[in-house]
Structure 1
Amino acid sequence: MKKIGVGILATSLALSMGLGYAEDNFNPVSVSAAEQTIKQFSDIPSDHWARATIDWGVQKGIIKGYNDGTFRPNAEVTEAQFLKMLILSYVSESELSANSNGHWADKYYDYSKSLNYPANGISKIDVRDKAVNREKVAELITSSQGVNYLKDNAITYLLGNDLAKGRTSKTIVGYDGNSTLTRAQAVQFVLNLNLNGNEGISARPSDASDVNALPKIAYELKAVFEQKEIEGLINSLNSFQASGQSQIWHGSEEKMGLDLYGNYSEDMGESEFLSMPLVAISQNDTQNTIMITFYNQFNDLEQQYIKEFLAVYYPTSFEKAFDDIFKAKPGNSIVGSYDNRYFSTGIVGKDKLPVVNIGRD
């Protein structure tokens, strides 16, 4: 864990102010003698949630205000601005140099390139001054910790290592990777990293890091079961890595789906292997359900996988739901509810395949 300088102490201010998960503000700071620094900003009142955090950033030398005496805490932060904050929290300006292309952030991008960071502005100068989204921030922060994760995996790393708590909850959905970041939120991210991250800045490995090494985090279900959520959910289940591989597909009525394949057999050709899924999981818009279709009898490992998946939706009744799957007969569906969520199962199609429908709500 990285230590913060003298006079900066982690406190429980966010909880006492009732901030909850807002602004990812779970590790604010308290300051004393340096209070005068923050007074230069006319738009940061004494009760602003990020007052102490912004003061820390000014003292650290990673941020400055504007010529009109404001900080503009709610303005969107650009990729170049965030990259500067991130890098200067570890190294000094004197350690940086640039092969200038005429952009004020050249030296930060040159340094990022030398460390193999996935900053979009390295190759696309025009995006440097555009707002950066929270997913890209997660990718840059995880890179500084010496790992190579992208998209939801980067978000999972942040949440699981207490480098963020999300906008609404400590989940991939609650993190809200597609939204942008304000200047105040950006400083908070960097402060969280300084409090809970590594001592020094690291290069990003050239190869992707092992997803099995990611910490486990909770998953939040929404009315719309998005593709990234289903991928994240499937990959979070303990049995999945041992059970097989998945393949995302798209259709019409069922907007997206995921086929789970069993362990590869050397006696089975690749084409045959990929044509015989064990289970297909899809979204059924017409019925407002998530539909699971089973293609094979399962061994113990695959049965455990299905139980883990059902447990996400029926935490106290997944064993009963699992048993119902094998009780259903053609023309005799089982319909009901477990844990206050719709459940049905039956045998469908000419191949007489067991199907389960799980209510979204």
Structure 2
Amino acid sequence: MKYINQSYFAQMSKFVLAVTSVAIFSPISSASAALGFSTTIAQISDNSTNQLLLVDKKVETMNRTQLNSNKVSAKGKKTGFSLAIWQPANTFSEVIARVSVKSKSHNNYLQERFVGDYKYKIKQKVKFVKGLKASDRIVVRLYDIQNRFIGYSEFECLSANTTVNLILSAKPNEYQVVRTVYGLDADQDGTIDTNATTYDYFTQIRKQGVIFLSSSQTFQGSQFQVEGLSTIAKTSVYPLSFTQGDYALVRQSFVNAFSSDLADVLQANPGSLVQVMEVSDNSSYDTSQMLMNYRQISMSRTLQVGFSDVSVNYWAKNFITKLATMEILEGFPDGTFRPDAPVTRAQFAAMLRKAFAKGKIRQAIAFKDVSNRYWAYNAISEVYQMGFLNTAVGKDFNPSQKLSRLDVLVALAQRLNYQTTGSTDTILSVYSDANTIRPEYRSLIAALTQHGIVVNYPNVNLLNAEQVATRSEVSALIYQALSSTGKVANISSQYVVGQQQVAAEDSMERIKPRRHCNQGIGNGAEGCDPGNSHPHGGSNDEGGRTPGKK
């Protein structure tokens, strides 16, 4: 087995392997009654009134202060977690933690994605930052140095930083039980905040499966006691989503830890496909960047991320691939993506619904031209309530109307609610066609420009606001909007307005107001195709393609 330090990770983006899969839970009946277990379900999740833990509830109540999460500078407000591994018996010196994430998307979880293999010394703590949100589930599979599977845990990201402790038994190779203790640590002092709920439960390996135990009464719990952590309770304390809904884990007789649908990298021995990273004390990893670098080896076999009409050198390839990986977009049954096809208001609503999990800021409207049987009815209703798209005329939505780049940009700007710092005219001067931007939209486009959301292809200085937005352009804009909130890793592109200066100065994380973009709905991430688009194809369903057609 080979081990590497953090510097190796930068090279991983070159590692391509077309294998994929998704973790699913076996629909097995309850066994807790037979085992005589009892469970305590946490009714409060943490100090935040807007913490989202119920998997069967829509993500509707996200705190509005998180809308500009990239601007939150107060310590501890960004979602992430620190992971420490303990073994009170002191019979183990090192362990390998395989970390993966199942991102929450409305009522579902996206496919499990590999975040890396990490060689820990017992008592070490590692931080994982960026690219996570409340209610995402983190999966940790534990191995000894001989690559024997010795433990499994899952926990749920909370509304701010989460501190997580995994405690191994005295003899992990024989007694394969893991205690999980975690809670909100908003001030990032390494301890669970006062008055925050402490989740405390046990998982036990049985062959290739895992049982989430409801009680510690069936084994000697004292061997899992760590100084500074809460005393072991008789009944386990779980987040609500672990006990209720379609994705509950407790009371199942068996949760498959190695489903055949998992990506090969999640089934292979540590070190066989990807080198193990040896961590140091207080190491920190950018989760969004790691997901980006590992995306080629952690795709589901059922998930299409490569398209016959999107070449390796295509200007928007990285944006399209990343959104396809995140299940925000998908291609057509014939294996194409149709990057130059126009985007309708209904299609855009479907994309936004999958990309953003924002709270609702206004009441739903019964659009006269959108029946409850229309394929995008739910997406249109939810996105309107989120504040992304306004009515067309009266109570019509005009779902089949093609969007201009300006339409896309304005929709993003109005909901993201970014503000400019500096002169609007100065910011917009980066565009050679800035005079075509209507006065009522100039400040919105300036704000998007300053936050690095505008993408113009092939001429980065041409906004082409009134041009019909293409699938590739909308993909780029949506991705850049997500990147601006810190939800995904930055993608380097010469067509993102402002990235030219960033590359030259090599010192900026955000776009400076030198080279800015105009409103041109669709300039959100890496793409606009000003003037060179040749729209074709039909309406996309919520996955990004025409319902029932090729």
Q: Does the alignment reach a TM-score above 0.5?
A: no
Which one has a larger percent helix, Structure 1 or Structure 2? 1
TM-score (norm 1): 0.42
Q: Which has the higher contact order (CA 8 A, sep 6+)?
A: 2
TM-score (norm 2): 0.29
